[in-house]
Amino acid sequence: MDELGNKPDFWMRLDNAAKIYPAVKDRELTAVFRVSVELKTPIQIKPFLDAVHDLEERFPYYKVKLKAGFFWYYLEPHDLPIAVEPDKETPCRSFEREELMFRVLARERTISVEFSHILTDGTGALEFLKTLLLGYLGKRGVIVPAGLLSLKPDEPPSKEEYEDAYNRYFKKIDAPPPKITRAFHVPFRLKPTPRFEVLTAIIPIADVIQQAKLHKVSLTEYLTAVYLYALQGLYDQLSKLRKGTSGKMLRIEIPVNLRRIFPTRTMRNFSLYVMPGIDLRLGHYSFEEIIKIVYHQMQLETDPKLIGKMISRNVSGEKNPFIRRVPLLLKSLILSRLYTQGTGQYSGVVTNLGRIDLDTEVNSHIQRFSFIPPPPNKILKINCGAVGFDGKLVVTFGNITQSKELERQFFTFLTSQGIPVKIINHS
Amino acid sequence: MRCNNCGVELEDDMQICPLCKTPVSDALTVPASSMPGADIHSLLTPERMTHPQKKFTWEIVSLILLCSAITTLLVNFIINKSITWSEYPVEICCIIFCYISLFAFSDQSRFVKMMLGLILSSFCIVILDAITTGIQWSIVFGIPLLVISNVVTGGLIFAYRKARYKGINLIAYTFLGAALLCLFIEGLLSVYQHHVLRFNWSIIVAACVLPVVIVLLFVHFRLKRGRSLEKTFHV
């Protein structure tokens, strides 16, 4: 505070990954994703609201609103209480201009948080949800081990939590983007608006891991291979004419949490992606072939040096003296064009938030976690998210088309491998 | 105790679910906005006057208008021994009365109220014109001026409501509205009197007001909460 009692003029630049979203987001393509936790007992509203209240000052980098500057968008503090809403509407709705860009939702036994990708990625949202969940359980008398909370509600946020870690790990190298051919995209017709629909399935983790181990791959690699196999099935169903006009490359974008490679405590976006894929011009692939390709491509592309190169490539765009001085309006047009081009390069997205394990006592109060990826755009049309907890893997497909054929092929393959799949009603 | 709508468990003393605002008992009709934890929209909507407050304000303003009209008429009559010029200020009082009555008692939207006010005011000036000189200026000058005044006022009300921070920016908007009104008045007058669109004094008024408006807006946006221009213009 200054002598006039004014708050310091705090503002933040958008991080490198967030910069594209203001240019492309709209009512359908919201760039909002959801992380939920279902408890074993109904939510008690008083301790729940108290737990939310305790976080009001803890995440100042989320209590911001998007403002348009002359050259770039930026984030400015927005002094509204955290929005707590009943979970009754379509998931991943867009945020109004005067709202915060995240919300907390509750319904029966489920607590959810929805974040705009402008603020953070899945890891940031999951940390927020964990802090809220542990605060709530603590207020309900559950003994929460002190070491379990990486972010304590009563501690001020550290500077590192605010940081744009892409900038921190940026090294200036000359790495022009490679030319990537157009990928295959599911041929289904779009639903009328509101388009976004979610299909969630619960799968025993042990069964998936057993299958993954048989092929000596990780769970993410296994799911990616199944996704590619299902996409290949869709391609095979196409007429000759459609096959001729559609892309022949099947690529899956897999977000990688960069915090595991480049240490940082940032709570903002810090993820990139790798894109394993197969080339259908070379013929039909067996599942074993696909899984082998996915494994080797993943091993290669997650190399820290290659990831570092990707960071440098992305950040150098934002640091280009010419691009920096292009007015925002023009820049937004360029960015939305780049986004469309970028999406054209892959056929699907598989986001795996990983396996969540809190503490035996805390775990005993939780039924499951789930993750709903942001609504896919009109090119991609379908995407997939997964999160594991306590022996259960929750796989969620976001879909804006009139068809569930991809999901059917995906889950049918799993069941054919002896993995039981239980579809649950999202609402 | 559980909320039937969103399924969360409520405290025993809660009569309304703080999440979805559903009353626990059907008999309960407490407005949602009066509950703690009222939703975001209630925080963003400015407070409105209650009906008794509106009525009280209307009474006060009406009384002031009545006194002004009577005083003007009396002064005119005492000085000139007849009513010569005072019908115009009285007419203005009537027009103001029409508007405040509509805004105090009508439940229509603000736009509809403005339109009704415009119709009533137009009727008033046509009557006055007919009584004094026969229908002459009211159609070609009076009603267009009323329309333009309504548009400018409507624009100002919109700008006031939309302004996130209400400070000297509102003064700047008012100056800007006044300058626009001056331009329109002179334009209308010149067309009415000389049948050509000509601007003289209103241009000078606008030219004088514009730098003041720029300074006021700059001070408001530049110095508001001590903010720097860096964030707006960072590259």
Q: A36-58: per-residue pLDDT in tens?
A: 999 999 999 999 999 999 999 99
Measured between alpha carbons, how far is residue A335 from residues A18, A22, A315, A326 in Å? 11, 9, 14, 12
Which residues, including other chains, have CB under 8 Å from residue A111's CB and lie 6 or more apart? A36, A37, A39, A43, A48, A104, A105, A129, A132, A133, A136
Q: Does the pLDDT of residue A183 top 60, yes or no?
A: yes
Give pLDDT tens digits for A4-33. Answer: 444 567 889 999 999 999 999 999 999 999
**What value does the mean pLDDT take over residues A254-265?**
94
Mean pLDDT value across residues A164-180: 88
Q: Which of B5, B221, B230, B235 to mutate to test the interface with A (most CBs of A within 10 A)?
A: B235
- Rounded Cα distance, A79 and A391, in Å: 40
The model's confidence at residue B227, banded by pLDDT at 50, 70 and 90, is low
- Mean pLDDT score of chain A, rounded to an integer? 92
Q: What is the pLDDT of residue A119?
A: 97
Dmax (CA) for chain B in angstroms is 80
Mean pLDDT for the stretch of residues B22-38: 47
Query: Most B CBs within 10 Å: which of A45, A93, A136, as the mutation test of the B interface?
Result: A45
Cis bond upstream, residue A194 (ω within 30):
yes
Q: Distance between CA atoms of A312 and A294, rounded to whole angstroms?
A: 24
The string over A223-253, giving b where at least 16 C-beta atoms fall within 10 Å of a residue's C-beta and e elsewhere, is bbbbbbbbbbbbbeeeeeeeeeebbbbbbbb
Long-range contacts of A279-283 (CB under 8 A, 24+ apart): A279/A248, A279/A249, A279/A250, A280/A184, A280/A232, A280/A235, A280/A248, A280/A249, A280/A250, A281/A248
Calpha distance A397→A372 (Å, rounded): 7
CA distances B79 to A77, B70, B84, B92, B124, Å, are 63, 14, 10, 21, 26
Span of A325-334, A335-344, B131-140 with lowest mean pLDDT: B131-140
pLDDT at A177: 82
Report the alpha-carbon distance of residue A111 to residue A35 in Å, rounded. 9
pLDDT digits (tens, 9 = 90+) for B158-178: 888 888 777 788 889 999 999
What confidence score (pLDDT) does residue B39 get?
A: 40
Between CA A136 and CA A119 the distance in angstroms is 23
CB-based contact A11 B225, cutoff 8 Å: no
Q: What is the distance, to the nearest Å, from the Cα of residue A377 to the centroid of all Cα atoms in its chain?
A: 14
CA distance B11 to A313: 54
Rg (CA), chain A: 22
A159-163, A293-297, B14-18, B42-46, range with the lowest pLDDT: B42-46
pLDDT 10s digits, B118-149 = 999 998 888 888 888 787 888 888 889 899 99
Q: What is the CA radius of gyration of chain B?
A: 25
CA distance A181 to A337: 16
Residue A20 DSSP symbol:
G
What does the DSSP assignment read for A248-313? Answer: -EEEEEEEEEGGGTS-----S--EEEE--EEEGGG----HHHHHHHHHHHHHHHT-HHHHHHHHHH
The strands making up A102-107's β-sheet, listed across from edge to edge, are A83-86, A102-107, A110-116, A32-39, A366-372
Conformation bin of residue A364: beta by default, left when phi > 0, alpha when psi is -120 to 50: alpha
pLDDT at residue A66 tops 70: yes
Those residues with Cβ within 8 angstroms of residue A375's Cβ, 6 or more apart along the chain or in another chain: A28, A29, A30, A32, A92, A195, A196, A398, A400
Confidence of residue A322 (pLDDT cuts 50, 70, 90): confident
Report which listed range, A285-289, A304-308, B212-216, is most confident: A285-289
Give the rounded percent of residues in chain A with a pLDDT score beyond 70: 98
Confidence at residue B41, expressed as pLDDT on a 0 to 100 scale: 38
d(C-alpha A363, C-alpha A374), whole Å:
27
Stretch (H or E) spanning A33: strand A32-39
- CATH of the domain spanning A197-356+373-424, picked from 3.30.470.20, 1.10.3210.10, 3.40.50.300, 3.30.559.30: 3.30.559.30
Counting one residue from chain A and one from chain B, the pairs whose CB atoms sit within 8 A come to 91
Whether A226 and A290 have beta carbons less than 8 Å apart is answered as: no
Residue of B20, B232, B233 for testing the chain A interface, max A β-carbons within 10 Å: B232
Q: Quick one: pLDDT band at residue A185, thresholds 50, 70, 90? A: very high
pLDDT of residue B206: 93
Distance CA A167, CA A187 (A): 38
Q: How many helices (H) and strands (E) does chain B have?
A: 9, 0
Q: Which residue in chain A has the smallest CA separation from B17?
A: A45
Q: Which residues of B touch A324 (CB under 8 A)?
A: 235
Summarised one tens digit per residue, pLDDT across range A190-244 is 999 889 999 999 999 999 999 999 999 999 999 999 999 999 999 999 999 989 8
The residue among A132, A167, A139, A122 whose CA lies nearest residue A56 is: A132
Is A46 in Cβ contact with B19 (below 8 Å)? no
**Environment class of residue B89 by beta-carbon count within 10 Å: exposed (0-12), middle (13-18) or buried (19+)?**
middle
Decide if A86 and B6 are in contact by the 8 Å CB cutoff: yes
Our CA-based measurement puts residue A44 at a distance from the nearest CA of chain B, in whole angstroms, of 4
Topology, domain A12-149: Chloramphenicol Acetyltransferase (3.30.559)
Residue range A253-268: mean pLDDT, rounded:
95
For B174-190, the pLDDT digits (tens) are 999 999 999 999 998 89
Percent of chain A scoring above 90 in pLDDT: 83
Closest residue by Cα to residue A98 from B44, B193, B165, B135? B44
pLDDT for the residue numbered B25: 64
Pairing of strands A83-86, A102-107: parallel
Predicted local distance difference test score (pLDDT) of residue A409? 94
Give the pLDDT mean for A91-95.
Answer: 95
ipTM of the complex model: 0.70
A38 interaction partners in chain B (CB closer than 8 Å)? none
Question: Do B225 and A7 lie within an 8 Å CB cutoff?
Answer: yes
Confidence band for B15, pLDDT divided at 50, 70 and 90: confident
What are the chain A neighbours of B13 within 8 Å (beta carbons)?
A: none
- Say yes or no to pLDDT of B31 above 80: no
Q: Which ranges in chain A are annotated with CATH 3.30.559.30?
A: 197-356+373-424
Cα A269 to Cα A115, A242, A244, A257, A259: the distances in Å are 11, 38, 38, 9, 10
- Averaged pLDDT, A310-328: 89
Contact A86 B231 (CB under 8 A): no
With an 8 Å Cβ cutoff, are B3 and A8 in contact? no
The whole-model pTM stands at 0.71
What's the mean per-residue pLDDT of chain B? 81
Find the residue in A nearest to B222 (Cα). Answer: A9
- Which part of chain A is CATH 3.30.559.10? 12-149
The pLDDT assigned to B225 comes to: 54
Report yes or no: A340 and A271 within 8 Å, Cβ to Cβ: no
